[in-house]
Structure 1
Amino acid sequence: MTPLTHKLINASIEAFGVDGALANHIQGFSAREVQISMATAVCEAIAEKANLVVEAGTGVGKTFAYLIPALLSGQQIIVSTGSKNLQEQLFYKDLPALLSILGLSPKAALLKGRNNYLCQDLLEKQLQGCDSLDTKVLDDLLRINQWAGQTSDGDLGGLTAVSESSDALPLIASRREVCSGKKCSHYEVCFTRKARSKAMDAKIIVVNHHLFLADRILKETGFAELLPDSDVVIFDEAHLLPDIAVTYFGQQISTRSLTDLLNEIINIYRNELRDSSQIEVLTSRCITFFNDWHQQLFDRHEQDWRQLMGDKHISATAWGLVAELKALESLLHGHVGRSEDLDSAVEKLDGFIHKLSLFFLCDNAQAAYNIDYGHRYLILRIAPINVTRECEQLFDSNTAWIFTSATLQINRDLSLFTKGLGIDSAKKMILDSPFDYFNNALLCVPRHLSRVSYQDSAVRDLVGVATQAINAAQGRTFILFTSHRMMNAVAAELRSRVQYPLLVQGQTGKQSLLKKFRQLGNGVLLGTGAFWEGVDVRGKLLSCVIIDKLPFVSPDDSLYRARADSISREGKDPFLTLSLPQAVISLNQGVGRLIRDEKDKGVLILCDNRIVNRAYGQAFLNSLPPMKRTRDMDKVVSFLEQIK
């Protein structure tokens, strides 16, 4: 152990001690053995520039366990989270509290992806062209304009005057493809630029996984690197990192960006190049071809591009679009040098043609080609099925890399996570929750459940179980689903069966639903993936969590199919190698909503009997906290009625 390691460990343990800084400032604080174990391992990783992977169960106190050594080290720190909620909690709550307790005052910065910030230039342009806008959109833009004069950081997360689903927000959010950098008249007051400048000057930076990977891989043009080189990078909610990495090591194309570019070219013609009417003619042809192709995809709504390319009509329209874009590009090359804006547009158009051609060819057997459908636009993605090699290069030896989450292991093994990121040589730790699950929690898989594949029977069974549990718990229940269809079917049936208020995902934003759930005190919240993780409801407000079925990825998912085919070619079983481990981690995230504090009590009900009558069910059970188990709903009712 080096002197630096020894010094940092001693300082951290002292902070956690009986007479330490935390005990002196936080009423009732007492360090847990597992928390000190994690903090010690983090100290060693920081001091020795090593890699560390820690699964820290609920209640370990992992946030303090990594933040205190990081802050005491005095080094350049980046903390990356998987969600905006945790990012904001760290920056606005945990970090200021610890800096005050430890008597430290380094500069700290919160940095989000650029689409989280207001673009003053886009807002100005939208208001100038307001005659063509929908009344509701215009009303929201005026509210945003009023807020723009009051906000200090332009973070749209702080905008409460309009709905988070407002159609006005995409119109004014900062976007790289329309950013003119230093040429912009708002450059000096640009919120995105100021946030990045603040980050470059900070000692501690809180980001999210998307932004971190964008900085390391994409190196956005116009602002160079977003983040300074750091001594330590800590990934919280690290279980999300592998799937996010797939996005950034692949390629993606936004059809919105292509639409904006084509409209921009027409505006350049009308404002600067009126002597070349052929520009408008060819651009309009491109827009027509684009709209036809776009509509065909929305009509089919198939996510796997390989499947769609089997349709000769869609294939012909796709390649026809590329041909029209190439014809436009050829014409525009004859006007290069006449307009700076046109020169920039030609460069962007060339990039789009190249990316679209790669996507339409879909000739890489080691990648998945899929389409994400938005409200009006699409994202075309080329996702590699394995990013191990790329990640090995990403996590260099000049930095201490620390990965932590409450859910990383499968059957007490962390190698699925570490091998996927190319960090199998990292030190690995599994720290179990210190909470008394055996006495405070009950797991029930009710008897006589229908097969989950029988939709109508599964709805009937789940509604019957949920009605019993909700009444016994006097509301205070989460019901987590693997599909919106099942959620809506169950919600429709429950409305006439329970007297407690139902809060269903989609009624309003996630945070608004959670706030209302806490305020009601007897609510029942129904949600899908967004509510399986990053949700913290403590105490008696939440006594029961019901999960509709084991969260296996759909076999029709294009990325899963591509990965499964690759695994099969290696002579391995895709289910055991890929599908099962992913489902175990997802289930653990949902289960983690139940017990959030050492005094919490509650029941977990899983309405999927495959966990008890299939051999693979043991993998799920081995990874769950050590709860008492039953198949008797009467015992569930009795347990819930005792939680007062």
Structure 2
Amino acid sequence: MNALISKLTIDSEQAFDADGVLAKYIKGYSTRTVQKQMASAVSNAINGKSNLVVEAGTGVGKTYAYLIPALLSGKQIIVSTGSKNLQEQLFYKDLPALLDMLALAPKLALLKGRSNYLCQLLLDKQLEACESHEPKVLDDLLRINQWSGQTTDGDLGGLTSVSENSDALGLIASQRDKCTGKKCTHYETCFTRKARVRAMDAKIIVVNHHLFFADRILKETGFAELLPDSDVVIFDEAHLLPDIAVTYFGQRVSTRSLDSLLEQIITVYRTELRDSAQIEQLASRCISRLQSWHQQMYDAFATDWRLLMGNKHIASASWAIIEELKVLESLLLAHLGRSEALDECTENLVAFSNKMGVFFQCENNQAAYSIEYGYRYLTLSIAPINVAKECEKLFDAHTSWIFTSATLQINRDLSLFTKGLGIDKSQQLILQSPFDYRSNALLCVPRHLSKVSNHEAAVKELIDVSVKAINAAKGRTFILFTSHRMMNAVAARLQSRVQYPLLVQGQGSKQSLMKKFRQLGNAVLLGTGAFWEGVDVRGKLLSCVIIDKLPFVSPSDTLYRARAESVSRDGRDPFTLLSLPQAVISLNQGVGRLIRDEKDKGVLILCDNRIVNRDYGQAFLNSLPPMSRTRDMDKVVSFLQQIK
């Protein structure tokens, strides 16, 4: 065993040597000690079937550091990412390049969750019902229809003619509960099915975290047979796992599914059971009741279900839906055996009304109950506030589990991450970025900022600061926001203040906006959470990142509130244990957009003076890269003007 371990470790480390395989193929390659350290640790974890947690700062080269040992091991590998961007980079760029260098040829597969693929049948149905859609939605559907004839894989990530926020996407994305399988007229050309086929005998499967958890926990992706109990699972962008795990260890139910089920019942009556008119009457009554409830919920537009149930009108209307569903259930049970389709609908209806009943009761004090508002439909969500025990069972001892990200530690400590996932006994490693941040990056918290709670003053000051920085940087700037409200307010006023192109989140897909940013060479991009991570702009194209304020979670967030109440009951401080650590990691993600290469130079401007005048500010500063610091905007202008 020791010989085997040492051989993989030696082979992996040699690949990173000055005369190794990487140096042979990559022009200007130079050995990084931290990269070899990580590769060695990954090699040992793979052979020892142990768990490893690595924070690898920007520039460590973590992707090659885990891929090379994984590929050389010859084992079956699942690589899971948090973003589609990284997933595609691994599959289309990094893996093919490394396999060429290492002269290996295992079969590869790229898999995304089924909601990432176009369903041709759903698209047909939406176009048939074109009169029921708003003009904007219909326009987007027509654009999608045009794209559907050109795409080879049906991956909606490649759809650039429609905004990623378009309501049309939810109407045509593949859905398990609407899949008709072999009965579908598009079965042979089905994009979801073809993705499965490609992955059937793959040795290396690249997935995303959502698909991984859905497959392992829910077994409802339709891809279950494609994610075997592999030898090694590597999670890149692992900082996202705790929140994603909460989603999948909880329960979610969509009223879209209920509406669809009720329509199915009516269809069965009209096609098979015309002698039972009461089926249609009761199902239609349920649909009407559901629509009225939807309207009440949209009028209230609150997300915390416990608070909503305090409204007697909403509580009464909610339980009335359950009563209507129970009446329909009783009727359908009386017709059991008459129709196979109706029997299936009855089973689904019973399960659905039971789930809704559990949600309405909200009896679990260790869970958050929330409502998510979508296009015409709602999602009811029960999220456990602690998933460590569940994750501990998921990350079994038969597999090597490797977790890595550029942002996992708080004050040089990884325990928040490891405890949250129940992997406390993992080997832990923190590797500093090899980049010279002190010389190449400047952090500025401008003087004389108003309180961030003063919206109008904050908007004005942020615009003034942005104009100075943008002009000095000749565009080439990201402005990252913690809210859409602030982003939209700044975008509206900044347009007339700068001569450089403004790209605002929502104008197109994330991919199309990033493509424009790179092509223009002097653009300013305004974005919220989606642009804080998974975005890689190297060189002079990005010289300045401006952040509006420290990214604390909203105190009204349903899951945070439930967690905070639990922590408070134990006599501990929710701000110190929950809010602050989450904000530190989020800020690090935003900061990570600035310096992506050893030759990159740039300025980070944070328009929130709490980082310098509150005690907790030191936790942020300790976790940030060691940039030079100033509070003088004149120094910022001078620094930016020197970046040629």
Aligned-residue offset at 1:308: 0.5
Aligned-residue offset at 1:125: 4.2
Aligned-residue offset at 1:123: 3.8
CA distance in 2 between counterparts of 1:167 and 1:369 reads 24
SS at match of 2:324: helix
CA distance in 2 between counterparts of 1:419 and 1:62 reads 23
Aligned-residue offset at 1:226: 3.7
CA distance in 1 between counterparts of 2:170 and 2:500 reads 36
5+ residue gaps, structure 2, are none
| CA deviation string 1:384-411 (max 9, x = no partner) | 0000000000000000000000000000
CA distance in 2 between counterparts of 1:161 and 1:481 reads 25
Q: 1:475 to 1:223 in 2, by over 3 A?
A: closer
CA distance in 2 between counterparts of 1:128 and 1:304 reads 37
Aligned-residue offset at 1:493: 2.3
Equivalence for 2:415: 415
CA distance in 2 between counterparts of 1:4 and 1:271 reads 65
SS at match of 2:55: strand
| CA deviation string 1:356-386 (max 9, x = no partner) | 0011001110000011112322211100000
Aligned-residue offset at 1:156: 2.7
User: Do 1:18 and 1:30's aligned partners in 2 also have CA atoms closer than 8 Å?
Assistant: yes
CA distance in 1 between counterparts of 2:314 and 2:449 reads 43
Aligned-residue offset at 1:457: 1.3
1:133-148 pair list within 5 angstroms: 144=144, 147-148=147-148
One-letter amino acid of the structure 1 residue matched with residue 290 of structure 2:
F
One-letter amino acid of the structure 2 residue matched with residue 568 of structure 1:
S
Equivalence for 2:596: 596
Aligned-residue offset at 1:291: 0.6
CA distance in 2 between counterparts of 1:139 and 1:604 reads 39
1:120-131 pair list within 5 angstroms: 120-126=120-126
Aligned-residue offset at 1:90: 0.7
Q: 1:560 to 1:255 in 2, by over 3 A?
A: same
One-letter amino acid of the structure 2 residue matched with residue 448 of structure 1:
H
Equivalence for 1:238: 238
SS at match of 1:202: coil
CA distance in 2 between counterparts of 1:322 and 1:578 reads 36
One-letter amino acid of the structure 2 residue matched with residue 408 of structure 1:
L
Q: 1:216 to 1:471 in 2, by over 3 A?
A: same
User: Do 1:482 and 1:529's aligned partners in 2 also have CA atoms closer than 8 Å?
Assistant: yes
User: Do 2:233 and 2:400's aligned partners in 1 also have CA atoms closer than 8 Å?
Assistant: yes
Q: 1:562 to 1:130 in 2, by over 3 A?
A: closer
Equivalence for 1:101: 101
Equivalence for 1:156: 156
One-letter amino acid of the structure 1 residue matched with residue 156 of structure 2:
L
User: Do 1:181 and 1:222's aligned partners in 2 also have CA atoms closer than 8 Å?
Assistant: no
Aligned-residue offset at 1:162: 5.0
The range that moved more, 147-156 or 324-333, is 147-156
User: Do 1:50 and 1:397's aligned partners in 2 also have CA atoms closer than 8 Å?
Assistant: yes
SS at match of 1:307: helix
Q: Does 1:637 align with 2:630?
A: no
Equivalence for 2:359: 359
The range that moved more, 510-519 or 178-187, is 178-187
CA distance in 2 between counterparts of 1:437 and 1:133 reads 52
| CA deviation string 1:49-104 (max 9, x = no partner) | 01000000001100000001101100000000001111111111111111111111
User: Do 2:119 and 2:173's aligned partners in 1 also have CA atoms closer than 8 Å?
Assistant: yes
User: Do 1:56 and 1:433's aligned partners in 2 also have CA atoms closer than 8 Å?
Assistant: yes
The range that moved more, 517-526 or 310-319, is 517-526
Equivalence for 2:228: 228
One-letter amino acid of the structure 2 residue matched with residue 507 of structure 1:
Q
Instruction: State how many pairs are aligned.
Output: 644
CA distance in 1 between counterparts of 2:189 and 2:75 reads 30
Q: 1:224 to 1:535 in 2, by over 3 A?
A: closer
Equivalence for 1:207: 207
1:285-364 pair list within 5 angstroms: 285-364=285-364
Equivalence for 1:273: 273
The range that moved more, 363-372 or 514-523, is 514-523
User: Do 1:32 and 1:60's aligned partners in 2 also have CA atoms closer than 8 Å?
Assistant: yes
Q: 1:132 to 1:303 in 2, by over 3 A?
A: closer
Equivalence for 2:48: 48
CA distance in 1 between counterparts of 2:468 and 2:159 reads 40
Aligned-residue offset at 1:168: 4.2
Aligned-residue offset at 1:18: 2.0
CA distance in 2 between counterparts of 1:481 and 1:551 reads 8
One-letter amino acid of the structure 1 residue matched with residue 612 of structure 2:
V
CA distance in 2 between counterparts of 1:580 and 1:127 reads 47
Equivalence for 1:81: 81
| CA deviation string 1:535-589 (max 9, x = no partner) | 1111111111111111100111110010001111111110001100000000000
Q: 1:525 to 1:130 in 2, by over 3 A?
A: closer
User: Do 2:255 and 2:377's aligned partners in 1 also have CA atoms closer than 8 Å?
Assistant: yes
SS at match of 1:12: helix
Q: 1:580 to 1:144 in 2, by over 3 A?
A: closer
Equivalence for 1:494: 494
| CA deviation string 1:486-533 (max 9, x = no partner) | 111122222222222221112222122111111221111111111111
User: Do 2:522 and 2:541's aligned partners in 1 also have CA atoms closer than 8 Å?
Assistant: yes
SS at match of 1:435: coil
Give TM-score, length-normalised by structure 1: 0.96
CA distance in 2 between counterparts of 1:500 and 1:165 reads 25
User: Do 2:367 and 2:562's aligned partners in 1 also have CA atoms closer than 8 Å?
Assistant: yes
Among all aligned residue pairs of Structure 1 and Structure 2, give the percentage whose two residues are the same amino acid. Answer: 76
Equivalence for 1:23: 23
| CA deviation string 1:229-281 (max 9, x = no partner) | 10000000000000000000000011111111111111121122111111111
5+ residue gaps, structure 1, are none
Q: 1:514 to 1:139 in 2, by over 3 A?
A: closer
Equivalence for 1:14: 14
User: Do 2:501 and 2:524's aligned partners in 1 also have CA atoms closer than 8 Å?
Assistant: yes
SS at match of 1:423: coil
Equivalence for 1:197: 197
User: Do 2:111 and 2:205's aligned partners in 1 also have CA atoms closer than 8 Å?
Assistant: yes
User: Do 1:388 and 1:421's aligned partners in 2 also have CA atoms closer than 8 Å?
Assistant: yes
The range that moved more, 440-449 or 197-206, is 197-206
Aligned-residue offset at 1:150: 5.1
User: Do 1:215 and 1:226's aligned partners in 2 also have CA atoms closer than 8 Å?
Assistant: no
CA distance in 2 between counterparts of 1:162 and 1:453 reads 34
CA distance in 1 between counterparts of 2:375 and 2:130 reads 21
One-letter amino acid of the structure 2 residue matched with residue 521 of structure 1:
G
CA distance in 2 between counterparts of 1:377 and 1:268 reads 23
Equivalence for 1:623: 623
One-letter amino acid of the structure 1 residue matched with residue 423 of structure 2:
I
